[in-house]
Chain A
Amino acid sequence: MIMLRRSVGIVVALAGCLALGVALPGMAATPVKNVLSSPRTGAAKARPAAKAGATAASTHRTASKPAAMANGLDRSKPPVLGPLPPLALPAIQSQKLANGLELDVVEMHEVPVVDVTLLLHAGAMRDPADTPGIATFTANMLDEGAGSRDALAIADEEAYLGAELSTAAGAENATVNLHCTKPKLGPALDLMSDVVLRPAFADSEITRQRELRKNALLQLRDQPTQIAPIAFNAIVFGNGHPYGRPAGGNEASTERLDRTRVKAFYDAYYRPDNARLLIVGDITPAEAKGLAEARFGSWKAGSATPPPVATAPAAGPRTFYLVDKPGAAQSVIRMGNVGVARSTPDYFPLRVLNTMLGGSFTSRLNQNLRETHGYTYGARSAFDMRRLPGPFVATASVVTAKTDSSLIEFFKELRRIRTEPVPETELQKTKSNMTLGLPGDFETTADAAVQYLDLIANDLPLDSYSGYIDKIEAVTAADVQRVAEKYIDPDHFVVVVVGDRKVIEPGIKALNEGPIVARDLWGQEMRP
């Protein structure tokens, strides 16, 4: 749970997908199942390629205890590891359908499954300023009736084919994802193309989904980990910036959701010239083109405008924003500032910086707040890199009584990484972690899709992974410190704390780190 894989700006929510409780009895596929797993894994599925001859011993400190010698085995030192086997990353091949839709194919033939993603520049940043939530609602409506099927019949067909079909939108993009076995690919693509090209947007279904959404907004009040990012983004970016508005909408905008608005949004942005199709799995490029042309060839190009450009407001002095949750067992802390766009020239130093700061289990924030102090189950940080500069955030859920102490430790780490040179051993550990972990990032069709979608979503060259290792290796301690100083700005942090205000406010005040302001769960000023 800590160190989620770095966001690629795509929310692949499985709305409407069958939960196969029966499928894998060994796993906690069911919700209330009584299994605990510790969130230890760091930026586990992090990145890139393999470097021959690397050893794991780079950061090892020799154990101070006498070595145990059993069977002539000296246990006192970790084994020296052999060379890494070569990794051939699955290549990506691009082509175009007759209507201009770009089709990228990654061949992985070992298991007869195929993962298909249609990515559209139709995320929440396209929402009109006065009606946030349309992009996510439109994506959600795609599979609530399409072609000849109503909402339930689509779900029925999906399960009958043993396929998973999901539609979602995030801040930047909308996605329609299909995962199925190879023999079912044809009929599953028929279903997917219905959902993309022929959604019904029936009034009855829109009403039904609008009511469900209102219900979800009501339940949001009890979900502090979901409140914190909504409030944080609203404060950092403001209502005039697309990243400042709630992607899931609010009560007022949800009331306004109707067929006319949804259809207008769909007609404007669900177009082949505003989309890209990625197919990964047991398929050849020629086969993929034939299948895609038959389903998406009739899709008419439109004239979608480029995604909007906006500038975040200048940050004020560091301020604490409290969202009151009386009786809360923990406080959700979320602090940070406007970060960088995915296109930043400092991408690689920033990746190294964040892995070290809060992007892996052994990162400074997690080691400090969890493994040294036990204030939390996990602390982390992230640069959410999008088309426009997204947020930099450091976050944790901490025990209520240690809210002030946790803030002290957060500030300590976030200041220290800017002012103290990074030790070489720590830098090496971080870089090795990122480079040697690459093979695992391309293990499954879904893994490989995530890696390539990051490039596709940001219009980056598709061969970017070929130079990845060298670029990580080239990052120096000075680079890390430079980008930390440049992009982490504790003096101007927005610090959101969702917790029991009357308990935590005195401690936060005593820190004397900045003014305290009360906000509602949307991050807005409290109405008297």
Chain B
Amino acid sequence: MQAHFIRVSRRALTCAFGLGALLALTATVAGAETPALKVTYQVFTLANGLRVILHEDHKVPVVSVNTYYHVGSGDEKPGRTGFAHLFEHIMFMGSQHVPTGEFDNLLESAGANNNGSTNEDRTNYYEDGPSNSVPLMLWLDSDRMGYLLPEINKDKVDLQRGVVQNERRQSYENQPYGLSEENILSRLYPEGHPYHWPVIGSMTDLNAASITDVREFFKKYYVPNNATMCIAGDIKPAQARAWVEKYFGSIPRGPKNVRPTAPAFHMATNVYGTIEDHVQVPRVYDAWHSQKSFASDDAALQVMGEVLAGGKSSRLYKRLVYELQIANQVNAYQDGGRLDGKFVIFSTARPGHDLNELQKVIDAEVGKLAESGPTPRELERVKNSTESAFIGAMEEVGGFGGKASQLNYYDYFLGEPDSFQADLQRYLSVTAADVQRVAKQYLETPHRVVLSVVPQGQTKLAATEGVQP
């Protein structure tokens, strides 16, 4: 996590804009030179409720099968935090006709690879491989959707519990600043809010997860009418549809999934927290309650994040790291989900500087942005980089960031898989006045969580209430 603002993976950033056979160019955006992004697709729904999106891209003979289950950590019940993600792991442990281990063996033998991810809102699985391997992918995915439970036993649950607990140790507990996220969530979102706890869950709750929980969770959420599948790449749509019907058609519909809602809330005070960690230098996190994904101000909040801390030419980097040299990194981002969102700024001090010093500068820069908004150049920079990223995204069909995943993502949030251009347009439409307004509205007036992560025994370095810029 450390200094990740300059370590975003390259694959994550290269998104693009495919022309070629599959990506027809349509009408140009008014006033823009660049043709609109268009990702053609077909969509159908099986009688059991499984929604399927098909997208042809014959650039390379590869296919991605990407499945969204509409369940995430926000759906977890009290005392079982981390369960949606633990369940994701169990989905790879074999099903009635696929002995344990064969899911991976068969895919690897076919030259394919696979993975899964869980967040607050959804659980996502994909298989990527050569285009002749689609029937295998669908056979495997349909078996675990329709026939998982006969193969589940305590040993499998215990084993993946151990793996997930090691994931927690590796990615959170043994990582400098790794426990910051859960400490922010618990202070920002009120008790009972679906985003109050982290996706990874607590060790105690992971220990409590039982095989009964697995059965209940599967029956409730892993049903065809609670899933959307996107098949993208070198496919023939009619053939792909026939395979989907063959493998998934007989899986019975399940109960309708009633998703949780988020209670409206307003932070009435600033909340200060301090944790001591195995770190050499302190870091401060500011987190404000903002807006959910695709809400009216979501794009402006994201643009604000880039203006504040997107790269070396950003305001906070320039001030904190480059000029004053009191911090070694800074980052800012809007993080919206299906239900709610937060805006976060964090910065790590250089030795000899405490977090109040950083906090003062952060507040001053936020104040300036709220006062006079971004410059035309700052805004254009963000828009140009964003547009390039959207174009680059067209290069790839698979993985967590390829077109199959994006089509599912847009369908999930907007009900329209081909929302690439509409999404890009959100950013291109943001004005300087919008950024100025969201800086004022979300960062200046309301209250926030201020979390200090300090070296053991050095709580005196923490940010404190009442420090003025």
Contact = CB atoms under 8 A, between A and B. Distances in A.
B166 A399 contact: yes
B446 interface: no
Contact of B114 (A41, A71, A212, A373): A41
B370 interface: no
B102 interface: yes
A290 interface: no
B1 A179 contact: no
Contacts of A18: 306, 310-311, 385
Nearest to A85: B61
Interface string A156-167: 101111111000
A21 B333 contact: yes
A56 interface: yes
Contacts of A327: 278
A19 B8 contact: yes
Contacts of B250: 70-71, 73
Interface stretch (A30-38, A257-265, A457-465, A510-518): A30-38
A218 B280 contact: yes
Given A27-B401, A159-B385, A362-B104, A36 B325 contact: no
B43 interface: no
Given A65-B150, A437-B113, A30 B335 contact: yes
A320 interface: no
Contact of B128 (A44, A64, A155, A329): A44
A23 interface: yes
Contacts of A26: 401, 405-406, 409-410
Contact of A21 (B15, B165, B305): B305
A449 B173 CA distance: 36
Chain A interface size band reads 35 or more
Contacts of B4: 19, 31
B109 A440 contact: no
Nearest to B392: A113
Contacts of A432: 108-111
Given A29-B13, A76-B97, A436-B111, A445 B395 contact: yes
Nearest to A29: B12
Contacts of A28: 12, 117, 119, 400
Interface stretch (A7-15, A126-134, A195-203, A333-341): A7-15
A22 B108 contact: no
A164 B386 contact: no
Interface stretch (A271-279, A311-319, A346-354, A374-382): A374-382
B346 interface: yes
A445 B136 CA distance: 28
Interface residues of B, number: 151
Contacts of A525: none
A15 B60 CA distance: 30
Nearest to A89: B60
Contacts of A373: 162
Nearest to A223: B176
A444 B386 contact: no
A218 B162 contact: no
A60 interface: yes
A330 B172 CA distance: 11
Contact of B136 (A79, A216, A371): A79
B274 interface: no
B211 interface: no
Contacts of B133: 56, 81, 436
A370 interface: yes
B297 interface: no
Contacts of A161: 384
A33 B335 contact: yes
Interface string B44-58: 000000000000000
A408 interface: no
Contacts of A325: 278
A40 B125 CA distance: 11
A97 interface: no
A26 B405 CA distance: 8
Interface stretch (B84-92, B260-268, B358-366): B84-92
B336 to A, nearest CB: 7
Interface in A372-415: 372-377, 397-399
Given A21-B305, A40-B92, A374-B166, 8 more contacts: A25-B298, A36-B85, A37-B400, A76-B97, A219-B2, A373-B162, A375-B166, A429-B109
Interface of A: 12-42, 44-45, 50, 54-61, 63-65, 67-68, 70-71, 73, 75-76, 78-79, 81-87, 110-113, 151-156, 158-164, 179-181, 183-184, 208, 211-212, 215-216, 218-219, 221-224, 325, 327-330, 360-362, 367, 370-377, 397-399, 428-430, 432-440, 442-446
List of 9 A-B pairs having minimum Cβ-Cβ separation, nearest first: A436-B111, A374-B162, A162-B388, A23-B389, A26-B409, A37-B117, A44-B113, A155-B312, A56-B110
12 contacts: A18-B385, A21-B332, A26-B405, A32-B335, A33-B119, A36-B119, A112-B17, A112-B391, A113-B392, A219-B176, A330-B173, A446-B395
